[in-house]
Structure 1
Amino acid sequence: MKRPFFCFLLIVLLITLFIPGGCREPEKKPIDEYRYQEPEITLYDNNTGEKKRIKMEEYIAGVVAAEMEPSWPVEALAAQSILARTFTLHKIKYEKGVPHRGADASTSTEEFQAYDPKRITQRVREAVKMTRGEVIKHKGKYIRAWFHSNAGGKTATAEEGLAFKKEATPYIQSVTDPGQKVADPDDKEWKASFSLDEVRSAVIQQAGKDPGQITSASIVKKGPSGRAVTIRLGNAEISGSALRMGLGPERMRSTLLLSLIHI
């Protein structure tokens, strides 16, 4: 007997999160840590289990190269450099980096950011150099520098898109994104299939509830941008963002869902 599959028809690639809207201009003067000497951080390599000391700007180059296509326009890479640097300093200052690894940062996208020094090109280095020390702050504090690849025509607030409620993030606004007009066709609309066992395990892991035998699936609530805020699977409800993390953001690319199909 064939195993049933649980299919999602989703729209638009949302690789990481959401780009800040309504923020003030990035600071043009060097941040405090850069005034006298470029800081070093401790980086944990999740592939080898080893830790190493690395200069901040060299680390940022590896992040930008991993998070974006190194061949993209230098201004796009420069914008990513500012976000990556801000994200890093926010995590280190307010969350002590990755304390369970005994490091400031790691190479895991779930724990920190992507990092791949093998993809660094001269264009990436140029982008990092031209934004050296630049960060984004809101009321004197580093912002949570979430970003995305494609917002499906409209960005979302942190609460809607990430179920983030730890603190207010007024600088993250839902705005129209014209990038959808020039997005790659493969990123505008796509499908992903998951076995019922995968879905059940994801719900148990992320929500702490057993949905039982999943015979139905539905979107219970959508947010202002149209993203699935709450999804019902069998006997359990789970936030769209939690389900995405449980199934893997590389496969479930977004919570901006057109439909859920049970086969």
Structure 2
Amino acid sequence: MTPWRWAANLKWLFTELEFEARFDAAAAAGFTGVEFPSPYGHTAAALRKRLCDAGLTQVLINTPMGEPGTPTRSGLACVPGLRSEFRAGVERGLEYATGLGCGLLHVVGGIVPAGVSRDRAFARYVANIAWAAERARGTGIRIVLEAQNKRDCPGFVLESQEQAAAVAEAAGDEEVGLLLDFYHLQIDEGDLVNTYRRVQDRVRHLQLADSPGRHEPGTGEIGWHAVLRAVADSGYRGWIGCEYAPVGETAAGLGWMRRVEEVTV
């Protein structure tokens, strides 16, 4: 019996279909959960209906981010001078998470702005996460933090998985945890198994894609048998988000899931 609960990331998977059709496609492919970063272009009620009709659980959403090319394109949490905008985004994220029955809200860290020291940006980030943790307390929604790689996201405020885990620990106990993405980890730090083991007690959500191409597992350099063996051995029972760009049509490339089912508890 395997522990895997796969969630289709609907920003990345089934993109051959319109967004509204991806829910049914994910369910037809065998997924029971979905995640996507930005639900804010739709009403929570409309999204909840699509989830219910398809028999899916909403696993994860992100806090609002700025438009591509703007200083807040990767989040607001570390940007000095935007405290009110950050707090409004967390409130909106919690509102949507509640409406969707979603248990995890990813508070996106952001890029250190030009002309701002990393220390100042990091201090703002820590303070904002502490506020978000307090605001989430009692809602049943957990805040998660993610370290993103500096090749795809230069200047991102979090520099390592262990730094993210330390912020989560400082901010709260059950309210804040770690979103660990093996793709980002492979690019920035490597040593996936040992790094995962060092922070596993803080991990509340996992995501995967192979490296370097960010395609499905088995298309790159990551040794997934060893990685998922370590995850199984750790007792992790959360969701694993499939956040990758399929090489071809999404459903045709899902054979990797069957191949990793040999990794058992």
Q: TM-score, normalised by structure 1?
A: 0.26
Q: Pick 1 or 2: higher relative contact order, CA cutoff 8 A, min separation 6.
A: 1
> As a proportion of its length, which structure holds more helix?
2
